[in-house]
């Protein structure tokens, strides 16, 4: 931000002209503004100078060297690898994963780490969840989950083909049934809207939060109805193009996943289709320690098939929700199951440490067994507990203590159930 201001050559008394110029696109006949390859022209205006070149140039050069590792990677020929690429098109999880606490999306560059993601609202001091997670590792885990889900498709092939047969054999009668259902939903939404208007006119001191929730819910229902209308119109006009079996669907998705590199934007585009919802929240071991990001994910294996949206039964059959840990567990939790099993055989902690594959210290084994005792004492099957607010005993998370911090959730956002 400092460089954007101090790089302006007018501060040295050198106003610039011709930094950008227009180029004509003959395909469309329009002109677009691009950077001038010849560079700008300058004129000397000493009365505008705040610094001399000898004062400001060394500072700018030092800042540029210090921040060089933050720049976009260049190709061998010097062309920007992100030239003319839309900013909304990023790698997997960028501007896609959602913060469970405030509803804003995650962005790349968590706490200065280029391969990590964090809540964008936390950067503005409006969310305490500043814990990041590694994007490439999360993408690799997500790929494994998708491939595992594809291996289970053969078990539901009979249900899938039955749904397709019903959808194709319904003909005009099924379309009329869907249209009548959509009309009933539209009438119901209109009645709800009239009730809200009547409530506003009759009640003087109505709760603004309650009114906002009612209007938000009604708006979401209208959006869903609009999408269902579009899908219905598509179904009326043409024959749906869907895989004839789950085996064919599996082959299509495997072909896409094998040909796409997980660090590419194409993989990010595919993940947005297959995983429409990713809510990231924090968990912690019951004995304390670092906060660990975990995600609630809704997987839709038919998300990359456009016509699948026209058959809700297919969407429901091929969708599932699951939990994905975005970081590796701490060592005491990683070795806990095996350490407990070996301890039950009568081995001492030092002997357990020697037999474990991770080769932990005796202290790590003691911590793992202590964690197991706490779980049994509290009657828990998992050592992780959900973190709803910043822990007071966690010294690495103090953003919410700053005077300029104020929590602001996204307008209309409601936390999903975990």
* Three-state DSSP string of the chain: CHHHHHCCHHHHCCCEECCEEEEEECCCCEEEEEECCCCCEECCCHHHCCCCHHHHHHHHHHHHHHCHHHCCCECCCCCECCCCCCCCCCCCCCCCCEECCCCCEEEEEECCEEEEEEEHHHHCCCCCCCCCEEHHHHHHHHHHHHHHHHHCHHHHHHHHHHHHHHHHHCHHHHHHHHHHHHHHHHHHHHHHHHHHHHHHHHCCCCCHHHHHHHHHHHHHHHHHHHHHHHHHHHHHHCCCCCCCCHHHHHHHHHHHHHHCCCCCHHHHHHHHHHCCEEEEEEEEECCCCCCEEEEEEEEECCCCCHHHHHCHHHHHHCEEEEEEECCCCCHHHHCHHHHHHHHHCCCCHHHHHHHCCCCCCHHHHHHHHHHHHHHHHHCCCCCEEEECCCCCCCCCCCHHHCCCCCCCCCCCCCCCCC
CB atoms within 10 A of CB 73: 8
pLDDT of residue 78: 63
How far is Cα 347 from Cα 334, in angstroms, rounded to an integer?
19
Residue 178 and residue 232 in contact, taking contact as beta carbons nearer than 8 Å: yes
pLDDT of residue 261: 87
* pTM (global) more than 0.85: no
pLDDT of residue 238: 60
How far is Cα 10 from Cα 364, in angstroms, rounded to an integer?
61
How far is Cα 106 from Cα 128, in angstroms, rounded to an integer?
13
CA neighbor of 311 nearest in space, from 222, 243, 219, 256 = 243
pLDDT of residue 72: 65
How far is Cα 385 from Cα 53, in angstroms, rounded to an integer?
58
For the beta sheet containing 133-134, the strands, ordered from the edge strand earlier in sequence to the opposite edge, are 106-110, 113-119, 133-134
Q: Are strands 277-285 and 98-99 parallel, antiparallel or unpaired?
A: parallel
From first to last of the 418 residues of the chain, give the pLDDT tens digit.
Answer: 777 888 899 999 999 999 999 988 888 888 888 888 888 999 999 999 999 989 999 999 998 888 877 776 655 566 666 666 666 678 889 999 999 999 999 999 888 888 999 999 999 999 999 999 999 999 999 999 999 999 888 888 888 888 877 766 555 566 677 788 888 989 998 988 888 888 888 877 777 777 888 888 888 888 888 888 887 777 666 666 788 888 888 888 888 888 888 888 889 999 999 999 999 999 999 999 999 999 999 999 988 887 777 778 888 888 999 999 998 889 999 999 999 999 999 999 999 999 998 899 999 999 999 999 999 999 999 999 999 999 998 988 888 999 999 999 998 899 999 8
CB atoms within 10 A of CB 174: 14
């Amino acid at each position: 931000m400092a460089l954007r201001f101090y790089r302006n050559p007018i501060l040295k008394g050198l106003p610039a002209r011709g930094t950008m110029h227009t180029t004509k696109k003959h395909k469309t006949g329009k002109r677009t503004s691009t950077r001038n390859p010849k560079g700008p022209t300058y004129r000397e205006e000493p009365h505008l100078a705040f610094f001399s070149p000898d004062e400001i140039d060394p500072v700018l050069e030092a800042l540029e060297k210090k921040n060089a590792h933050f720049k976009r990677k260049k190709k061998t020929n010097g062309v920007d690898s992100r030239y003319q690429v839309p900013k909304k098109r990023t790698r997997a999880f960028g501007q896609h994963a959602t913060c469970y606490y405030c509803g804003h999306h995650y962005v790349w560059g968590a706490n200065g780490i280029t391969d990590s993601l964090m809540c964008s609202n936390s950067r503005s001091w409006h969310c305490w969840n500043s814990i990041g997670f590694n994007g490439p590792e999360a993408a690799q885990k997500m790929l494994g989950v998708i491939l595992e889900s594809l291996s289970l498709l053969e078990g539901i092939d009979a249900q899938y083909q039955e749904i397709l047969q019903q959808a194709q054999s319904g003909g005009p009668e099924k379309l009329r049934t869907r249209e009548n259902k959509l009309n009933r939903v539209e009438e119901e939404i209109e009645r709800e809207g009239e009730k809200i208007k009547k409530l506003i006119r009759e009640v003087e001191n109505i709760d603004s939060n309650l009114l906002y929730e009612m209007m938000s819910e009604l708006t979401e229902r209208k959006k869903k109805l609009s999408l269902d209308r579009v899908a219905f119109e598509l179904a009326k006009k043409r024959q749906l193009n869907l895989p004839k079996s789950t085996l064919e669907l599996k082959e299509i998705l495997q072909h896409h996943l094998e040909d796409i590199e997980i660090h590419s934007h194409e993989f990010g585009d595919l993940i947005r289709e297959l995983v429409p919802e990713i809510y990231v929240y924090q968990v912690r071991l019951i004995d304390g320690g670092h906060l660990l990001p975990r995600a609630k994910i809704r997987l839709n294996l038919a998300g990359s098939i456009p016509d699948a949206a026209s058959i809700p039964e297919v969407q429901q059959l091929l969708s599932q929700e699951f939990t994905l840990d975005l970081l590796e567990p701490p060592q005491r939790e990683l070795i806990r199951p095996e350490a407990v099993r070996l301890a039950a055989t009568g081995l001492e902690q030092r002997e357990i440490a020697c037999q474990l594959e991770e080769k932990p210290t005796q202290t790590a084994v003691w911590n793992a067994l202590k964690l197991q005792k706490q779980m049994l004492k509290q009657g828990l099957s998992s050592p992780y507990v959900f973190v709803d607010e910043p822990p007071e005993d966690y010294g690495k998370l103090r953003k919410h203590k700053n005077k300029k911090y104020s929590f602001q959730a996204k307008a209309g956002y409601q936390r999903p159930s975990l």
